[in-house]
Amino acid sequence: MRIDRTLLAVAAVALIGVPGAAVHAQTSATGGPSLNGPVVPGVCLLSREAIFANAKVGQAATARLKQLAQQAQSQIDAERKPIDTDVQAYRAKASSLSADQRQAQEQALGQRMQQVQIDQQTKGRQIEATRVKALDQIAQYAQPVIASAYESKKCGLLLDRNVAFGGNMANDLTPAVVQGLDAKITTISFNLEPVPAANTGSGTP
């Protein structure tokens, strides 16, 4: 089990969204002619994923999340390395041990490995909590920029661009929001969040 297959995926993908989102809905699903048409007055589009992917602050946050995930990976690797060494040593001498000795050593090694897995899961929860908080920070900065673009385009309805199969993209607010967000902020600083509090399920109000 390795953190870089899970936490780095969260850091690299979950924050910024799907690559190529900036060109979503410009062409048909089969790659044929674009599905254009008249501009629908008052109907505007926005892609939060593309904002997080293309705005400088989103890219900076992604880089920081990757760094935190790499640090977490290093900690888990350091914790697991001596256990791997002891496992190899046990395998080399297992045949010379009694059944009781083998059982005792296997149990001890298993408990140590289980603790590493618990620590990895804890790091995973911390990375996820950090990701959510970073997204919330960026969203707070982006909200007034979105509102300004919405008013400027005289929008009466704002839809998620990623659910549109096609159409006229003239009222896509995403590029303007990315530009406005870049002018407002280019980076944010954050550290790994503490372990989230467990849900006790006590039902206390």
What is the predicted pLDDT for the residue at 15? 55
Indicate the SS3 state at residue 124.
Answer: helix
Do 69 and 62 form a contact (C-beta atoms < 8 A)? no
Residue 145's Cα: distance from chain center in Å?
A: 23
**Residue 33 confidence (pLDDT):** 62
Centre a 10 Å sphere on the Cβ of residue 85 and count the other Cβ atoms it contains: 10
Residue 85, amino acid: T
Half-sphere CA count of 62, side-chain side, radius 13 A = 18
How far apart are alpha carbons 87 and 102 in whole angstroms? Answer: 12
Q: So where are the chain's domains? A: 3-19+36-184
- Tokens read off for 202: 């006590």
Model confidence, pTM? 0.76
Residue by residue, pLDDT tens for the chain (205 residues) are 343 444 444 444 445 544 344 444 444 445 566 667 788 889 999 999 999 999 999 999 999 999 999 999 999 999 999 999 999 999 999 999 999 999 999 999 999 999 999 999 999 999 999 999 999 999 999 999 999 999 999 999 999 998 888 788 889 999 999 999 999 999 999 999 998 776 544 444 4
Q: Which residue has the tokens 């603790």?
A: 115
